[in-house]
């Protein structure tokens, strides 16, 4: 299964009806340049736990995780660069980008709303808001920035595991390992999600329990 391709198809399908066309083009441009690692982790977790890759709705779960990540990633970039301080063209482009970010997150929520990962998705966005507020007075703002990737990967594992009827437990180490692959960009899923990682995802995906959080 080409997990990255499946995530891309589902993500583009989820935003295919966005209007006006200019906004949809901007959103599709964000997705074209996206590292599809979070969505691929969702699929890898689910299939490692025994879910058929063609299970209806599975790709939508992965797309939901991916869209939320890309929307927050774009929001983070805009907050750091503050393009509204530039010329008119830069401000207009930033206005379109922030709308695109809002739509990406909203469509991601829509896809995850009927799943067991819905509450986890809300917590990712809340944590992102807290982190981006706190970073302005933090000794090392980059540490807080990296929390987005870790939180999204926790969400990915949760979304994948719950597709198999379970809930991840004792996933701290595998999530930390996955998050460590991010160094300004996520790696190619086909290279990073090797057999060893999939075995570890399978091992943490079967237990029922409370939602996974940063302290697990």
Please state the domain extents for the chain.
3-204
Q: Which of 48, 27, 164 is nearest to 101 (CA)?
A: 27
Residue range 28-53: mean pLDDT, rounded: 94
Residue range 201-215: mean pLDDT, rounded: 59
* pLDDT tens readout for residues 144-191: 888 999 999 999 999 999 999 987 877 788 898 899 989 888 999 999
- Cα-to-chain-centroid distance, residue 130: 17
Tell me what pLDDT residue 155 has.
Answer: 96
- Are the CB atoms for 148 and 72 separated by under 8 Å? yes
Q: How far apart are CA 63 and CA 104, in angstroms?
A: 10
CB atoms within 10 A of CB 14: 23
* pLDDT tens readout for residues 81-112: 888 988 888 898 889 999 999 999 999 999 99
Just give the CATH number of 3-204.
1.10.600.10
Tell me what pLDDT residue 153 has.
Answer: 96
Global pTM value: 0.91
């Amino acid at each position: 299964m080409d997990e990255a391709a499946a995530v891309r198809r589902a993500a583009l399908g989820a935003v295919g009806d966005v209007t006006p066309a200019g906004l949809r083009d901007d959103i599709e441009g964000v997705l074209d340049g996206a590292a599809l690692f979070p969505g691929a982790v969702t699929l890898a977790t689910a299939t490692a736990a025994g879910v058929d890759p063609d299970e209806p709705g599975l790709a939508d779960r992965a797309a939901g995780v991916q869209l939320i990540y890309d929307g927050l990633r774009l929001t983070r970039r805009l907050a750091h660069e503050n393009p509204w301080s530039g010329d008119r063209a830069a401000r207009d482009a930033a206005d379109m980008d922030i709308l695109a970010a809002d739509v990406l997150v909203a469509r991601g929520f829509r896809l995850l709303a009927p799943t067991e990962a819905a509450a986890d998705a809300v917590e990712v966005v809340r944590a992102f808001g807290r982190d981006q507020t706190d970073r302005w007075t933090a000794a090392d703002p980059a540490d807080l920035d990296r929390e987005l990737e870790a939180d999204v990967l926790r969400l990915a594992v949760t979304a994948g595991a719950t597709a198999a009827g379970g809930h991840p437990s004792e996933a701290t180490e595998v999530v930390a390992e996955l998050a460590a692959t991010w160094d300004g960009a996520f790696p190619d899923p086909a290279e990073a999600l090797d057999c060893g990682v999939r075995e570890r995802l399978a091992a943490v995906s079967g237990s029922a329990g409370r939602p996974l959080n940063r302290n697990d």
